[in-house]
Structure 1
Amino acid sequence: TRRDLYELLGVPATATAAQIKTAYYEQSFRHHPDRNPGSEAAAARFAAVSEAYRVLGSAVLRRKYDRGLLSPEELRHAPKPSGRPSSSSSSSSSSSSSSSSPPPPPPPGVPHHPYSASAARSGAVHTPFDFDAFYRSHYGEQLERERALRARRERLRLRREEEAAQGHLQRLADVSGLLLIILGFAV
């Protein structure tokens, strides 16, 4: 009957696109297979809620459904609603809920985020981003040049200190030799 999909989502037939979207997010989150592992009832409910949203989330399909004109063939080939408000829906109500509602859960068969519930259960939590590898790959040559430049500067500094110390010793030797010559003539 006409009310079945609306009842499934828990919204009245007069619900706005934003209310339907919010109800879909709540229901799909509650019945998502990752949150209910092994529950066939939850998986079936999730599939039914997804199909209801595919129909009621599209202004064209919703109109056909409300009039009883939606064929199973049209339903089978219907794209999933994009989440953007259509031109026929009210922009104020859909924009206010789109900023406060969470993103939809990933569809079955799509790889999940590394921190999803299924990844946590399996213990397969991976670091989402290796900053060190990124930094080395983008700045490795520059880092190597800077390292070589620092080493060269350090060698130059040590050589200058060494030359300064040798120059100081040479002056001491010269002064000492001069003093010996002067003392030799004075005696």
Structure 2
Amino acid sequence: MDSSKIERAVFAGGCFWCMQHPFDELNGVVSTVVGYTGGHKENPTYKDICSGETGHTEAIEIQFDPAQITYSQLLDAFWMNIDPTTPNRQFADVGSQYRTVIFYHDEEQKQIAESSKEEMARSGIHGKPIVTEIAPASLFYKAEEYHQKYYEKCPARYERYKSGSGRERYMKKIWGK
């Protein structure tokens, strides 16, 4: 794999624990890191983020090989793992740090994201307006190590959280899986 061809995508979809696993399973995804972005505080910690006053959101940074998976395909995976109709919350998690955002790195990603959002809105599958933001990428701060690959480090806790938060129930209702 030619590392000069690796591209980045950054998505905020609520609790980053639940966003990392689906992307790690995709062919063409080289690596994922969970962290914080979109705010004004430098080098935020999880405790800072939880205050809801940093402007940051929990997010995932994805390194991907565009020869194996497209940005559009990553967006499809993003939409299938969130509720894009709730501002400043995802399932049980409430606050601006849990808002959904597509952070673009260039004009092409912006256009693809806007088209993807329009397509999702036209589908009507969620039955409500799509409120997911599209914003320019800014500094991405890697979260503390204990958050990385949480689904591997604490599988039982991860599964309880994913189920208890309402995320799984919503995905089953909307997507049938």
Q: Give the TM-score normalised by structure 1.
A: 0.24
Structure having the higher helix fraction is 1
Structure having the higher strand fraction is 2
Return the index of the structure with the highest Cα Rg.
Answer: 1
